[in-house]
Structure 1
Amino acid sequence: MERGVSLLGSGGGGDTVTAAALLRGRLAAGDRAAITPVSALARDAQVLPIGVIGATAVFAEKLPSGAEFRAAIAAVERWTGCRTDALVSIEVGGLNGVVPLVVGGQLGLPVVDADLSGRGVPRLDQLSVAAAGKGLTPLVLAEPGGQVLVLAEATATEVERTARAFLAGSSGSAVLALAPIPASELPDCAIPDSMSSALSLGRQALSADAEELADSTGGRVLGLGRVVEVSRRPGPGEHGRIGFARGSATVRDHRSRSLLRLEMENEYLFAMRDGEPVASTPDVLAVLDNRTGVPIHCDVVRQGIEVAVLQLPAAGFWTDPRRLPVLAPRAFGIDCDPVLLEVRR
């Protein structure tokens, strides 16, 4: 599971190794992590989206106590008057693909085989519920210091801005919980089967090389070679606010001798070969250590390492023309049309 969600993070999503260690510990202690199909739930079952947001690197330095998750869920239940019957991850890509399994095991709640992103996404206004027009409020943020913020009403853009301000003024990371969604509505605003897909992807990745993994998933290998340059720079801000950091990593392909340049923010977003666009978000772009097969995140990619660069197909939710603009290159300030695989999952 850890390998699968790490790949789906597209170079982001936070520390999956620590999250997996937490899950192993809870399973060893006797907790049961249950992944439940949406179809197995009662239509009126209340499914609560949950995850960790902010500076996810903090997650490896200061593990959550568990109180943050209980506080966030309790606050949502008090505000909405709905009792939680199951959990769903806000983001299968990265540590949030594992954390809800830890929480579900602790609280005795099943985790639904779905999520609200299908991959790693950087902003709350890019979650599938926002893309589907459901909105994000009421929303709760609970940080390790004990502060709990309830945001009753706001647009998706305002939610993103308010959440970042809260994180900057507190501990840098927080547990996020959204209002429960009736199970009958989940197929229209979530990515179904994403948890089991991550599990399957991880199994394949642990038993195959890059070419075999690409073939088995409908993806392709964009490049095999050495990272020859990594550059980082401040990202573009809006209205005087600093944006996420930006950067690029350039790989010299051993086979064609071409240069493959990856543009990155929190995730790998866009790829060009010798200046020509060849791949983009919302497809997943993954950089793997060519020796171990371990995904290399944007914040640790460095010059000199041998890598394989993969393009994996986006979830069908994001290839719908109504939703594609939410994760297309222009949503990140890259003036180019999406360059996607034809084979869809």
Structure 2
Amino acid sequence: MRITAADVPALERGVALLGSGGGGDTMTAAALLRQHVIHGREPEVPAALDPATPVMPVGIAGSTAAFTEKLPSGSEFATAVAALERWTGARAGALMSIEIGGLNGLMPLVAAVELGLPCADADLSGRGLPRLNQLAIAATGRGLAPAALAEPGGQVLLLAAGSDEAIERGARTFVAGSGGWAAMAFAPVPAGELPGCAVMGSVRAALELGRRVLAAGESPDPDRLAAASGGQVLAMGRVLEVSRHIGPGRHGSAGFGRGSATLTDHRTGALLRLEMENEYLLALRDGQPVASTPDVLAVVDHRTGVPVSCDTIRAGIEVDVLRLAAAPFWTDPRRLPVLEPRAYGIDCDPVLAP
């Protein structure tokens, strides 16, 4: 499969929904991808790769807001990949996304075109995730190290060894002091080993999701929206209140921004409250949990269908709240604790789609 100009809007919509309210603004990444495909440089996403092909996970680390303000020069991914190739001695035969939700669902395709490589139909998240130590290679014990980061100013950092938590801290410290974001690459994984440490088929799944939702049109009724998304409509109504605060940190440091958004479901009169961090994490109807991470909780503008992120949701807008079933990778009891509400400090059992 090749990503064409006609595919870009659907793919952008699909990865935005899978961001679960996070993952960053996809507009800039979609514009970069569109510039490539309209000039005939279409990313290749093979249905299968030779099992021995070294597949290197890549993505953007740091502030996605900073990415839209400080645009890439075009060399960041090539620099990060080259640094890791020198360290590991393994040359990348293909790339893959670290996170299909948000802009990282698109930027690895841009990087693949720039490096002349195919992009595997897989990723390390299956949705939007806030922390590197929650990626699938960490959840399965494969480990994040070694990893390389290259920021727009030219600095390169190689994290040769360390725990997954140490790699997460090191990456955040680097991007905080060097412009806010960096291209990141992890050690290549043989394509034949991806089913054990990645979410397979995620690029095609995002593309198909976007196609169906766009085809549903504006202001769809609940049944049409549920059918198009393949999920469940939790509420349709006006946002009454949004509150924000700093979440719990570790070792005395501040955590991510936390908040909640409350709306009235026009269909039933029930109150739905969404607890959020970088992503929407938990939905409560009249105080009772009805959906949670690792399922994807997506909020879309009722009129346009455009996903509404955690940092832009506000009182007064009319929205639809969707629950999309998590990738089976995350519902495995061995991995569920990595993304369940308690992983974010929320004392609640996971509530998953039936």
Q: Tell whether the structures are fold-level matches, with TM greater than 0.5.
A: yes
- Give yes or no for the alignment of 1:180 onto 2:192: no
Task: Please identify runs of 4+ aligned residues in structure 1 that moved more than 4 A.
Answer: none
- Give yes or no for the alignment of 1:281 onto 2:289: no
Contact 1:76 1:139 in 2 (8 A): yes
Contact 1:2 1:98 in 2 (8 A): yes
Amino acid paired to 1:234? I
- Give yes or no for the alignment of 1:16 onto 2:42: no
Alignment map for 1:101-116 (pairs within 5 Å): 101-116=109-124
Report the counterpart of residue 202 of structure 2 in structure 1: 194
- Give yes or no for the alignment of 1:136 onto 2:144: yes
Amino acid paired to 2:20? S
Report the counterpart of residue 83 of structure 1 in structure 2: 91
Report the counterpart of residue 304 of structure 2 in structure 1: 292
Gaps of 5+ in 1: none
Counterpart among 230, 237, 241 of residue 253 in structure 2:
241
Contact 1:228 1:251 in 2 (8 A): yes
Q: Matched residue pairs, number?
A: 340
Alpha-carbon displacement from aligned partner over 1:186-209 (angstroms, at most 9, x marks no partner): 110000000000000000110113
Report the counterpart of residue 174 of structure 2 in structure 1: 166
Counterpart among 115, 127, 134 of residue 126 in structure 1:
134
Gaps of 5+ in 2: 1-10
Structure 1: how far apart are the matches of 2:38 and 2:228?
32
Identity of aligned residues (%): 64
Alpha-carbon displacement from aligned partner over 1:164-212 (angstroms, at most 9, x marks no partner): 1112111111111000111111110000000000000000110113532
Counterpart among 67, 78, 90 of residue 75 in structure 2:
67
Structure 2: how far apart are the matches of 1:212 and 1:248?
27
Counterpart among 147, 150, 165 of residue 157 in structure 1:
165
Counterpart among 27, 31, 44 of residue 41 in structure 2:
31
Counterpart among 17, 21, 26 of residue 7 in structure 1:
17
Alpha-carbon displacement from aligned partner over 1:138-157 (angstroms, at most 9, x marks no partner): 00011111111101111111
Amino acid paired to 1:250? T
Alpha-carbon displacement from aligned partner over 1:255-280 (angstroms, at most 9, x marks no partner): 11111000000000000011100100
Structure 2: how far apart are the matches of 1:83 and 1:168?
29
Alpha-carbon displacement from aligned partner over 1:89-125 (angstroms, at most 9, x marks no partner): 0000000001111111122111100000000000000
Counterpart among 317, 321, 332 of residue 305 in structure 1:
317
Structure 2: how far apart are the matches of 1:328 and 1:149?
31
State the 1:216 CA deviation.
4.5
Report the counterpart of residue 222 of structure 1 in structure 2: 234
* Corresponding residue SS for 1:285: strand
Contact 1:204 1:213 in 2 (8 A): no
Structure 2: how far apart are the matches of 1:146 and 1:34?
28
Amino acid paired to 2:16? S
* Corresponding residue SS for 2:71: coil
Structure 1: how far apart are the matches of 2:35 and 2:111?
12
TM-score under structure 2 normalisation? 0.94
Report the counterpart of residue 327 of structure 1 in structure 2: 339
Alpha-carbon displacement from aligned partner over 1:25-67 (angstroms, at most 9, x marks no partner): 1112221211123xx2111110000000111011211211111
Structure 2: how far apart are the matches of 1:93 and 1:212?
23
- Give yes or no for the alignment of 1:314 onto 2:326: yes
Alpha-carbon displacement from aligned partner over 1:64-104 (angstroms, at most 9, x marks no partner): 11111111000010000011110000000000001111111
Structure 1: how far apart are the matches of 2:127 and 2:293?
10
